Amino acid sequence: MKTLTGAEIVIECLKEQGVDTVFGYPGGTILNIYDALYKHQDEITHILTSHEQGAAHAADGYARATGKVGVCLATSGPGATNLVTGIATAFMDSVPMVAITCNVAVGLLGRDSFQEIDIAGVTMPITKYNFIVKDISKLADTIRRAFKIAQTGRPGPVLIDITKDVTASTCDYEEKEPEPIIRQEDTILEEDLEQALQLIRKSQKPYIFVGGGAVIANASEELASFAHKIQAPVADSLMGKGAFDGTDELYTGMVGMHGTKTSNFGITECDLLIVVGARFSDRVTGNASRFARNAKILHFDVDPAEINKNVKAYASVIGDVKSILRKLNARLDPINHEEWVAHIDRMKDMYPMRYEKSILTGPYIIEKIYEVTKGDAIITTEVGQHQMWAAQYYQYKKPRSFITSGGLGTMGYGLGASLGAKMGCKDKTVINVAGDGCFRMNLNEIATATRYNIPVIQVVLNNHVLGMVRQWQTLFYGKRYSHTVLNDQVDFVKIAEGMGAKAYRVTGKEEFEEVLKEAIALNVPVVIDCQIHCDDKVFPMVSPGAPIEDAFDEEDLKI
């Protein structure tokens, strides 16, 4: 046992939890922690981002890429509130993250002191749990508890707000081993498993729908065994990308608003929809009352609150989905559904993904990224058309290779997330795909990349408009392009070069592959500004509120 300041206890607890990288921005109330961090810089790498929001997104990207807890730091007041969007992003997508903020001293709380904000109150709806520490004797155990909560069951962000006097006070500290994170199996009931087995054995046309919970649970091997054992086609949500190999013969693509016609039509026709760790977002279901209307829905999820929340389930099993699948696989004999799979294969042939091949387009760029990286990169994205193209045209073979803001849809997320992903997976090529509207929001993090020479590649699909919003305006708002045109004087190449990055502008198909290969070989921060047409659209598409079987594409619009 030794006597340490509160700031030193914070650092020791981070080391206890195996934290090797943190992202943040210093300020007055958190100075004691930064002073302690300075003394331990050989043990914990700190990445100074350009903005606290970038720190939160970087911690989030680190967590998604590695499966470990991401950590971000910020000072009180505006420093803390600048984390809010990043915390909310992590909350919506169930990302294990610990945000550590500091506040004014206990005696100044509630007095409108300089840079004082009730950040615990502000973040209560968007954290799994949060704490304010006013007593140094409770500090170490609070940090340990925060890390456990962030990782247990359905993961999520936890905020710890520490008053400045606690960081300066001293207290006895004794190192402890982190408590093991145990998979949630006590809620997996025998009767639920039996009902699931009966439904699976009786089904003639099963379909598997995979969400982000399968990625979080590291259930890919069990999922692959399950799908092939029962010979069922597999679709995924945006968050489920990579949980099931995108090159597997049973894979049919994403489901929902921009899902493949095969997935949307197949799920509508199936008699049993087996849902693995998904929450039935409105972007997946379309008209929820007509979603999978011919099927009994069998839902596997760790969070009981998700069962029957958006779509009524016929049966469910609550618990860790890796454990659920393992138990089912042990009891299932192989089941033959060749006729059903052949029918789905015919749909794949009838409804291929297609785009204009003669010019530089978003789909072409994503396909070329897949070809050059051989499907072995980590792809992060912002939010919009480019995000959907990245989901549609890159074949994700492994989990944690597609990192995007699914639930909150946070523009400005991807660049910070790419920095975190690269810090967590230094041996991987990391590429952030952005639209020009999203890139503007947090492009200052290019300066972070160059400060530390974090060799991420930023690909901007630059159509000089807010592409997805414009697409909706074209299809549903009579082509009234209200404040979605960005055709101004901003030069992303000059901006990137001004921040110390290598930058290219690409205007034709023949240039992109060469530039991408050079960018990967350089191993420095690179921005590639790709000029594409303002009216390129994401297809297939389902109109808001329509059932998913009403998916249409450009060919349908010509009829």
> From residue 43, how far is each of 40, 60, 70, 167 by CA, in Å?
5, 21, 16, 20
The predicted pLDDT at position 107 comes to 83
Catalytic residue, chosen from 8, 53, 147, 164, is: 164
- Under the banding of pLDDT at 50, 70 and 90, the label for residue 555 is confident
Strand residues in 302-393 grouped as ranges (E): 315-318, 378-381
Q: Which domains are delineated in the chain?
A: 2-173 (3.40.50.970), 190-350 (3.40.50.1220), 362-539 (3.40.50.970)
The predicted pLDDT at position 471 comes to 96
φ and ψ of 501, to 5 deg:
-95, 160
C-alpha neighbours within 13 Å on the C-beta side of residue 149: 18
Q: Residue 390 in contact with residue 18, Cβ under 8 Å?
A: no
φ and ψ of 319, to 5 deg:
150, -175
Q: Tell me, yes or no, if 350 is annotated catalytic.
A: no
Q: Tell me, yes or no, if 164 is annotated catalytic.
A: yes
Q: Is 294 helix (H, G, I), strand (E, B) or coil?
A: coil
The predicted pLDDT at position 232 comes to 98
Q: Residue 37 in contact with residue 10, Cβ under 8 Å?
A: no
User: Can you count the helices (H) and strands (E) in the chain?
Assistant: 24, 20
- pTM attached to this predicted model: 0.97
Strand residues in 277-388 grouped as ranges (E): 296-301, 315-318, 378-381
The predicted pLDDT at position 110 comes to 84
- Under the banding of pLDDT at 50, 70 and 90, the label for residue 438 is very high
Q: Tell me, yes or no, if 549 is annotated catalytic.
A: no
Counting residues of the chain whose pLDDT is more than 70, the rounded percentage is 100
Cα dihedral 420, 425, 426, 429 sign: negative
Tokens of 157: 């962000």
Q: Residue 450 in contact with residue 501, Cβ under 8 Å?
A: yes
Q: Residue 209 in contact with residue 275, Cβ under 8 Å?
A: yes
Residue 556 has pLDDT above 90, yes or no: no
Residue 559 has pLDDT above 80, yes or no: no
Q: Residue 82 in contact with residue 123, Cβ under 8 Å?
A: no
The predicted pLDDT at position 461 comes to 98
Counting residues of the chain whose pLDDT is more than 90, the rounded percentage is 96
Residue 325 has pLDDT above 90, yes or no: yes
Q: Kindly report the average pLDDT of the chain as a whole number.
A: 97
Residue 33 CA to residue 13 CA, distance in Å, equals 12
| Strands 170-173, 2-5: pairing kind | antiparallel
Q: Is 526 helix (H, G, I), strand (E, B) or coil?
A: strand
**DSSP 8-state assignment for residue 552:** B
> From residue 221, how far is each of 214, 242, 282, 486 by CA, in Å?
10, 11, 28, 45
Residue 161 has pLDDT above 90, yes or no: yes
The predicted pLDDT at position 106 comes to 82
Residue 542 has pLDDT above 90, yes or no: yes
pLDDT average, residue stretch 517-535: 98
Instruction: Calculate helix-pair angle for 261-269, 338-350, nearest 10 degrees.
Output: 150
**DSSP 8-state assignment for residue 491:** -
pLDDT average, residue stretch 488-508: 97
pLDDT average, residue stretch 402-425: 98
**DSSP 8-state assignment for residue 412:** T
**Closest residue by Cα to residue 534 from 467, 475, 438:** 467
Residue 111 CA to residue 483 CA, distance in Å, equals 41
Conformation bin of residue 308: beta by default, left when phi > 0, alpha when psi is -120 to 50? left
Q: Tell me, yes or no, if 17 is annotated catalytic.
A: no
Tokens of 466: 């807010």
- Under the banding of pLDDT at 50, 70 and 90, the label for residue 558 is confident
**DSSP 8-state assignment for residue 290:** G
pLDDT average, residue stretch 230-252: 98
Catalytic residue, chosen from 16, 68, 115, 269, is: 115
Q: Tell me, yes or no, if 52 is annotated catalytic.
A: yes
pLDDT average, residue stretch 370-391: 98
Catalytic residue, chosen from 8, 12, 52, 549, is: 52
The secondary structure of 112-128, three-state, reads CCCCCCCHHHHHHHHCC
**Closest residue by Cα to residue 228 from 300, 306, 336:** 336
pLDDT average, residue stretch 315-333: 98
pLDDT average, residue stretch 412-431: 98
Q: Residue 355 in contact with residue 346, Cβ under 8 Å?
A: no
Tokens of 514: 């060469």
pLDDT average, residue stretch 423-435: 98
Q: How far is CA 454 from the centre of its chain?
A: 20
Catalytic residue, chosen from 39, 43, 114, 194, is: 114
The predicted pLDDT at position 108 comes to 75
Amino acid residing at 113: S
Residue 478: burial class (beta carbons within 10 Å; 0-12, 13-18, 19+): exposed
Residue 319 has pLDDT above 90, yes or no: yes
pLDDT average, residue stretch 83-110: 94
Give 111-141 pLDDT, tens digit per residue: 888 898 999 999 999 999 999 999 999 999 9
Q: Residue 437 in contact with residue 466, Cβ under 8 Å?
A: yes
pLDDT average, residue stretch 393-422: 98
Catalytic residue, chosen from 97, 254, 441, 468, is: 468
Strand residues in 258-417 grouped as ranges (E): 272-276, 296-301, 315-318, 378-381, 402-403
Q: Residue 392 in contact with residue 76, Cβ under 8 Å?
A: no
Give 218-240 pLDDT, tens digit per residue: 999 999 999 999 999 999 999 99
Torsion of CA 335, 339, 340, 345, to 10 degrees: 120
Q: Residue 385 in contact with residue 537, Cβ under 8 Å?
A: yes
Give 28-85 pLDDT, tens digit per residue: 999 999 999 999 999 999 999 999 999 999 999 999 999 999 999 999 999 999 999 9
For the chain, how far is it from start to end, CA to CA, in angstroms? Answer: 77
Q: Residue 512 in contact with residue 520, Cβ under 8 Å?
A: no
